[in-house]
Amino acid sequence: MVSELIDARELNEWLDGAAAPMVIDVRGPKEYASGHVAGAVNIPLSQLPKKLKHISRDGLVVTYCNMHHCGESRGERAAALLRENGYDARALDGGYPVWKEAGLPVAAATLVSRV
């Protein structure tokens, strides 16, 4: 799989812009609730195909997971699925761990937010 990735700091800059991308956490609800990119919505990878109609095709969509298996991660597979369905999509390089380690905005939730 050829991955189209976006750097954490670049994504953070885009999130402050007028055309901020939609960010989708494709991990499970418990992983999402324990901490996620601030503003991200939770759509587990297994549910993504049936949720496509709820995702806007206007603008960039960024997906992420914990990226334990670079090249085959859930975030990269989700971005590939979105691209196959006509979306402009990229995966967050390094996933949530890199985002958190960079000190970028994170949130935790007791209630899972989904599209």
Question: What CATH number is associated with residue 54?
Answer: 3.40.250.10
- CA-wise closest residue to 3 among 90, 65, 102, 112: 90
Judge whether 68 lies within some domain. Answer: yes
pTM above 0.85, yes or no: yes
The yes-or-no verdict on residue 75 having pLDDT over 70 is yes
Give the strands of the sheet with 88-92, arranged side by side.
Answer: 5-6, 88-92, 60-64, 22-25, 41-42
What is the number of domains present in the chain?
1
Judge whether 115 lies within some domain. Answer: no
pLDDT tens-digit readout, 6-16:
999 999 999 98
Judge whether 65 lies within some domain. Answer: yes
**Domain that includes residue 11, residue range:** 5-107
Judge whether 81 lies within some domain. Answer: yes
The yes-or-no verdict on residue 112 having pLDDT over 60 is no
Cβ 57 vs Cβ 86: under 8 Å: yes
Q: Would you give the end-to-end CA distance of the chain in angstroms?
A: 27
Mean pLDDT of 101-107: 94
Which residues lie below 8 Å from residue 44, measured CB to CB, with a gap of 6+? 26, 27, 28, 29
In one-letter notation, the amino acid at residue 20 is: A
Judge whether 83 lies within some domain. Answer: yes
pLDDT tens-digit readout, 30-50:
999 999 999 999 999 999 999
Judge whether 63 lies within some domain. Answer: yes
